[in-house]
């Protein structure tokens, strides 16, 4: 029988921030955690990563607002706090890890920064591209005759930052099961991105990656059988025929078998010739026609699909699912398809397990979930602590919630 998501019962307090912090909070919420976002009263609903969260606006300039958060952290009690700020921000508010762990020793205090907290650039502002630059990872990306090219902000903000922070949080929760103690979790986008680049970094000491950027087998520019090609309808296919047997399948599909390329492909001096030949062949047919040739083969050829196609074409694998499947305790669903809550008595267990449980969300994982400041906060405070507005907390100034004075025990 499919059970509750794995983080059911875990309470998370997420301070409003950009990109990695909200992504970490959304990931925990999708895995079953109860996530309350702490906003300022004048924050815009800028967070597109607010799925399954609630919000509360707190006046952080009023000591009673700080008291509210401390009371909440200690009494709920909160399992995980997500700090997305530059070093020192929460410490100056009296909400640093030393004070909060003394107040609540089982707290997992999770912090994510761009640069290293103790590094040369710690006091500087930055964004994904800057963190990738100093991590070394950016030096690996892009064609050889142009500047390095970051992959939108996927690698730094979300992989090196948010996803790495979640990994640290889960490890800290696991360690807490043994020690009964929480701890500080530190993540930063420099170290996270650098760790993700372990393989290509180490490959620089081998023939697989010892050439300049864009001229190695895996940088998808220099190698003829590991890159993208344009088709007759101005779409693209990916080619990844690294192994000789897959390369032979590719040649057969392109009608180039028996011309000596099976033996000559290792001659890098002929790579430009082979690239031009492949490009000419792929431009001769539409992407759909090439799919008809290569689907079901081991040629390692697949289409480049955009999200409009994935969303609208039921033949494609565009239903958004959790990043990993837990068969017995799956994440909540994103796609509102068959299987899961509301699917009817005929829903198959495999559908529920593959797609997560629950009825999915509006937008199917393609549209942002904008969370208004204060949305759902009263309900969550009531569920967690039995608190009521006007009895335990108030917004007397219009700048956010504060603890009512006679409730301010901390």
Task: Report the share of the chain in percent with pLDDT over 90.
Answer: 74
Q: Nearest-5° angle of CA 17, CA 22, CA 25?
A: 130
Cis check: omega of the bond before 77, within 30 degrees of 0: yes
pLDDT score of 348:
47
- pLDDT grade, residue 360 (50/70/90)? confident
pLDDT score of 347:
40
CATH superfamily of the domain spanning 11-198+376-403: Crotonobetainyl-coa:carnitine coa-transferase; domain 1 (3.40.50.10540)
Residue 118 CB neighbour total at 10 angstroms: 9
E strands, 116-188, are 183-188
| 258 Rama class: left (phi>0) / alpha (psi -120 to 50) / beta | left
> Does the pLDDT of residue 345 top 50, yes or no?
no
Q: Compute the distance between CA of residue 101 and CA of residue 106 in angstroms, rounded to an integer.
A: 7
Tell me which of 60-69, 143-152, 327-336, 352-361 is least confident: 352-361
pLDDT tens per residue, range 56-105: 999 999 999 999 999 999 999 999 999 999 989 999 999 999 999 999 99
End-to-end CA distance of the chain: 44
For the entire predicted model, the pTM comes to 0.92
The answer to whether the beta carbons of residues 64 and 399 sit under 8 Å apart is no
- Taking the CA atoms of 116, 120, 121 and 123 in sequence, report the sign of the dihedral they define: positive
pLDDT score of 215:
84
Which residues, including other chains, have CB under 8 Å from residue 322's CB and lie 6 or more apart? Answer: 30, 31, 330, 331, 332, 333, 334, 355, 356
- Taking the CA atoms of 283, 287, 293 and 299 in sequence, report the sign of the dihedral they define: positive
pLDDT score of 310:
94
The mean pLDDT of 328-355, rounded to a whole number, is 61
* β 226-230/183-188 pair status: unpaired
pLDDT score of 352:
59
- pLDDT grade, residue 44 (50/70/90)? confident
The mean pLDDT of 125-143, rounded to a whole number, is 94
Q: Do domains 11-198+376-403 and 226-309 have the same CATH topology?
A: no
The mean pLDDT of 279-305, rounded to a whole number, is 97
The mean pLDDT of 1-20, rounded to a whole number, is 93
- pLDDT grade, residue 280 (50/70/90)? very high
Task: Report the share of the chain in percent with pLDDT over 70.
Answer: 93
Residue carrying the six token digits 């500047």: 147
- pLDDT grade, residue 3 (50/70/90)? confident
The mean pLDDT of 163-184, rounded to a whole number, is 98
pLDDT score of 218:
85
What is the DSSP code (8-state) at residue 58? Answer: B
Of the candidates 47, 157, 191, 219, the residue annotated as catalytic is 157
The DSSP code sequence of 356-406 is: -BS---TTTTTS-B---TTTBHHHHHHHHH---BTTTEE-SSSS-BEE-GG
pLDDT score of 219:
82
The answer to whether the beta carbons of residues 32 and 14 sit under 8 Å apart is no
Q: Compute the distance between CA of residue 409 and CA of residue 386 in angstroms, rounded to an integer.
A: 16
The answer to whether the beta carbons of residues 108 and 167 sit under 8 Å apart is no
pLDDT score of 335:
84
What ranges do the domains of the chain cover?
Answer: 11-198+376-403, 226-309
- pLDDT grade, residue 408 (50/70/90)? low
pLDDT tens per residue, range 372-400: 999 999 999 999 999 999 999 999 999 99
Check residues 358 and 393 and name the one with the higher pLDDT: 393
Please, what is the average pLDDT of the chain?
91
CATH superfamily of the domain spanning 226-309: formyl-coa transferase, domain 3 (3.30.1540.10)
Tell me which of 174-188, 235-249, 263-277, 334-348 is least confident: 334-348
Task: Determine the length of the chain.
Answer: 410
- 230 bridge partner residues: 236
> Does the pLDDT of residue 326 top 80, yes or no?
yes
pLDDT score of 342:
36
Q: Compute the distance between CA of residue 183 and CA of residue 154 in angstroms, rounded to an integer.
A: 28
**Is 157 labeled as catalytic in the residue annotation?**
yes
In order of 47, 72, 233, 237, 293, the CA distances from 229 in angstroms are 36, 55, 12, 5, 15
pLDDT tens per residue, range 212-254: 888 888 886 778 999 999 999 999 999 999 999 999 999 999 9
């Amino acid at each position: 029988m499919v059970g509750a998501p794995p983080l059911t019962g875990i309470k998370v307090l997420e301070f409003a921030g950009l990109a990695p912090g909200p992504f970490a909070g959304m990931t925990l919420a999708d895995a079953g955690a109860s996530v309350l976002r702490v906003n300022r009263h004048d924050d815009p609903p800028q967070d597109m990563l607010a799925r399954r969260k609630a919000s509360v606006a707190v006046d952080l300039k009023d000591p009673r607002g700080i008291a509210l958060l401390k009371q909440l952290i200690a009494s709920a009690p909160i399992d995980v706090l997500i700090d997305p700020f530059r070093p020192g921000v929460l410490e100056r508010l009296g909400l640093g890890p030393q004070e909060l762990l003394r107040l609540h020793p089982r707290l997992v205090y999770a912090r994510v920064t761009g640069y290293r907290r103790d590094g040369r650039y710690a006091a500087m502002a930055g964004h994904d591209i800057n963190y990738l630059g100093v991590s070394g990872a950016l030096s690996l990306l892009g064609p050889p005759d142009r500047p390095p090219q970051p992959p939108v902000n996927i690698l730094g903000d979300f992989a090196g930052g948010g996803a790495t922070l979640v990994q640290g949080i889960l490890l800290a929760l696991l360690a807490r099961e043994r020690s009964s103690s929480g701890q500080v979790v530190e993540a930063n986008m420099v170290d996270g991105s650098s760790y993700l680049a372990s393989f290509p970094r180490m490959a620089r000491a081998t023939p697989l990656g010892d050439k300049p950027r864009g001229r190695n087998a895996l940088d998808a520019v220099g190698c003829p059988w590991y890159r993208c090609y344009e088709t007759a309808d101005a779409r693209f296919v990916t080619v990844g025929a690294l192994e000789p047997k897959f390369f032979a399948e590719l040649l057969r599909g392109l009608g180039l078998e028996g011309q000596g390329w099976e033996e000559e492909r290792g001659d890098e001096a002929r790579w430009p010739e082979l690239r031009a030949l492949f490009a000419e062949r792929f431009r001769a047919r539409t992407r759909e026609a090439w799919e008809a040739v290569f689907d079901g083969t081991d040629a390692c050829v697949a289409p480049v699909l955009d999200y409009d196609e994935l969303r609208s074409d039921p033949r494609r694998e565009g239903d958004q699912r959790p990043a990993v499947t837990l068969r017995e305790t799956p994440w909540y669903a994103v796609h509102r398809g068959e299987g899961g809550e509301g699917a009817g008595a005929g829903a198959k267990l495999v559908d529920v397990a593959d797609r997560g449980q629950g009825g999915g969300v509006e937008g199917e994982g393609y549209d942002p979930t904008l969370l208004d400041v204060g949305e759902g906060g009263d309900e969550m405070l009531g569920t967690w602590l039995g608190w009521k507005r006007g009895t335990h907390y108030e917004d007397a100034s219009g700048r956010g919630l504060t603890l009512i004075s006679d409730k301010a025990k901390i």
